[in-house]
Amino acid sequence: MSGNYEQVLAKSLQATIESELDRLGLLFRVFSRAKSKTSIESKIESKGVGYYSADGKKIQDLFGVRIALYFPDDINIARQALEKLYPLVSQEVDPHDASQFQALRCNFVFKLPETIVQDSQIIRTNELVDRTFEVQLRTVLSEGWHEVEHDLRYKCKEDWEKHADLNRALNGIYASLETSDWGMMRLFEDLTYRHYKAKEWAPMLRNKFRLRTGNDLSLKLENIIGQDDIGKLLYRLDRTELILKILNKGIRFPLTINTLVYIANYYYIRDSRISNVTPTALSRALDELELSQ
């Protein structure tokens, strides 16, 4: 029963994280798990007496969350979103080294909410378990590779000893996936540019923002974007900067293509024609957020 309830707590972490990433419109998948009492005891035993201690090193991954993002440039956005939700304890982020074939770690440890600490029987009864949880950030393309590597290499290190060439080959597969990640992003950038040149504003915006939003652009906005340089200004808009603005300002309106244009206009473009068709509730909410910060 304890193990099942710990998993319920892991799911509550997952739900909170999913809600925040959904607010930003990111494309992603989230997975969560909780170690069982038996698994925790086995980990302590495998490390030997004294490795973990009540006043020293503790187990930090009773709860684990894995976030697989559709695009590599969203990893930094997701990280910043997490840091606004939970206090960061530590991180392991490998710098990119183009001269080596190896998987890059993007792992973080955060403090657990006090409600979960109080509800966790394992934390309450085992002083070697820390009040933290681990988050791993990956791309969707690399997710499958990480699963294979964890189960069939990391957990079976002795099987790979004296096989450096195959170790490197497996890492090379990861490198090809990493290249595909950036290649796919560049493909969408090229598609965005083609729609921009053709003055096809709705497809341009959909493929530029790459977010989970509604697909329809209002006729009023479409007509305005086609005038002067509004289309060019939207095309040149920094996608990451806009999403981080939504994150940091605490904007909680449902995201659609129209809403994104309204928000982009409010902070960056400042065209009166778009301001005049912006829903009053959204304009008022953005004004109130500015006054409160």
* CA 224, chain centre distance (Å): 33
Max CA distance (Å), the chain: 72
Mean pLDDT of the chain: 93
Please give the domain boundaries of the chain with CATH numbers for all domains. Answer: 2-141 (3.30.460.10), 198-292 (no CATH)
How far, in Å, CA of 44 to CA of 50, rounded? 9
Give the tens place of pLDDT for each residue, 165-212.
999 999 889 889 989 999 999 999 999 999 999 999 999 999 999 999
Q: What is the pLDDT of residue 98?
A: 53
State the pLDDT confidence band at 59, using cuts at 50, 70 and 90: very high
**Which among 260, 252, 247, 253 is positioned nearest to 205, based on CA atoms?**
260
Give 210-227 pLDDT, tens digit per residue.
999 877 899 999 999 999
Report percent pLDDT > 70 for the chain. 96
Residues near 16 by Cβ (< 8 Å), separated by ≥ 6? 85
Q: Does the pLDDT of residue 42 top 70, yes or no?
A: yes
pLDDT over 90 (residue 95): no
Instruction: Name which residue leads in pLDDT, 211 or 156.
Output: 211
**What mean pLDDT is predicted for residues 33-51?**
94
Helices (H), 24-127: 37-47, 74-85, 114-119, 121-125
Q: What is the pLDDT of residue 2?
A: 56
What's the pLDDT score for residue 72?
A: 93
Please report the pLDDT score of residue 184 as a whole number: 94
- The mean pLDDT value for 47-63 works out to 94
Of the listed ranges 91-105, 223-237, 263-277, the least confidently predicted one is: 91-105
What pLDDT score does 96 carry? 62
